[in-house]
Amino acid sequence: MNLFKDIWETNKEIIPKAYRLLLKNWPILFTGIVYSIILILLWRVAFMFWILAGLVITLVQSAIISNYLYLIENIIRYQRITMEDFKAGFTVYIWKIYGIMIVIWFANYGASLFLSPLFNIRLGTVSLWFLVKVAAFLLLNSLPEVIYQKHFYIGETFRYSFEFIKENWIDWYIPNVVLGLLFYIVMGDIRTPDLLLRNRMFSFASSGILPYLVGQLLLAYLMIYRGLLFEILSGTSRRKRMFMRNQYR
């Protein structure tokens, strides 16, 4: 009972707070247009880099992700974003994100190279490899928040994300699943914030301006909400949160 009461009390505070922060920082809805233009131009000139194309594309994607996470960080920490934040954001976390994406690529490549016979085993209608990827997705779900809130080195970032989920999986997943389902109902597709580490981050624009704006609105809200929730869960224990609520009543 205390578990669900804690989840309720925590979300009763941060759900409206995330909404207020989003309204106050509404220009973030249009950052995706800039990112989309950058990616379109990148794909058109990528062939010029020949064998380095993959590395260059990954680097540019890392810069875009860095920018978005830095804006979310400023919304949560300072409750506002500026044009200067937008300009600076492309380089703040670029090398950490680039390193993380390289690690993920090598993990996928190594697994496909050496373990493909094992991962091709079918378990009902799905493959073992699919289940492994789902498990990794769940265990590292807080990776974006760890990147901009904890400032660890790459290896420690993976470790802390895993430890955080292990300690807070109920508090983290119950509200995130609810909001994710809402996103699915509205958009007709599952586009969780964890797509920040994948190539389809800002594909909303392809289906029209209104779906794009709705998608960006929900994405921004989800990221602000997740950041606020991560900040609370990673900084306090359930016992401490309950003690503080009782103390200040």
Domain boundaries, the chain: 2-237
Question: For residue 123, is pLDDT > 80?
Answer: no
Q: Among candidates 206, 193, 223, which has minimal Cα distance to 33?
A: 206
Please tell me which of 136-140, 228-232, 236-240 the model is most confident about, judged by mean pLDDT.
Answer: 228-232
Question: End-to-end alpha-carbon separation of the chain, Å?
Answer: 20
Q: If you average pLDDT over residues 101-118, what whole number do you get?
A: 82
The answer for residues whose C-beta is within 8 angstroms of residue 38's C-beta and 6 or more apart is 60, 64
The answer for residues whose C-beta is within 8 angstroms of residue 197's C-beta and 6 or more apart is 65, 97, 100, 101, 104, 143, 144
Q: What is the mean pLDDT of the chain?
A: 84
pLDDT given for residue 197 in this prediction: 39
Please tell me which residue, 114 or 151, carries the higher pLDDT value: 151
Q: If you average pLDDT over residues 116-144, what whole number do you get?
A: 82
How many other CB atoms sit within 10 Å of the CB of residue 218? Answer: 20
pLDDT given for residue 190 in this prediction: 43
Contact 152, 146 (CB under 8 A): yes
Q: What percent of the chain has pLDDT over 90?
A: 49
Q: Find the angle CA(64)-CA(70)-CA(75) to the nearest 5 degrees.
A: 130
Residue 30 CA to residue 83 CA, distance in Å, equals 12
The answer for residues whose C-beta is within 8 angstroms of residue 7's C-beta and 6 or more apart is 170, 171, 174, 175
